[in-house]
């Protein structure tokens, strides 16, 4: 039985409420990684387990719609 592992790093940038075109980049909301384990069954690689580990997680920035004063 074959097994494999992988580590995937991610950065999430997010702003809620923006409705007026392109948004300039903001600071990351989350930074972390996944640790995955795979198992090969009948020639197919299946995800056996996934752990998400956050090095940093902050609040999501919320903007008011552009048409409100």
The stretch 37-58 carries a mean pLDDT of: 96
pTM: 0.68
Distance CA 39, CA 20 (A): 45
Per residue in 12-40, pLDDT tens?
888 888 777 787 778 888 999 999 999 99
pLDDT of 24: 78
pLDDT of 39: 98
Of 33, 36, 37, nearest to 10 (Cα)?
A: 33
Q: Which of 4-13, 25-34, 60-69 has the lowest mean pLDDT?
A: 60-69
Query: What band does 69 get if pLDDT is binned at 50, 70 and 90?
Result: low
């Amino acid at each position: 039985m074959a097994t494999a592992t992988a580590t995937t790093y991610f950065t999430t940038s997010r702003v809620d409420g923006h409705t007026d075109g392109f948004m300039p980049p903001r600071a990351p909301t989350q930074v972390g990684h996944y640790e995955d384990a795979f198992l090969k069954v009948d020639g197919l690689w299946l995800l056996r387990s996934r752990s998400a580990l956050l090095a940093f997680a902050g609040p999501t920035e919320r903007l008011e719609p552009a048409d409100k004063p």
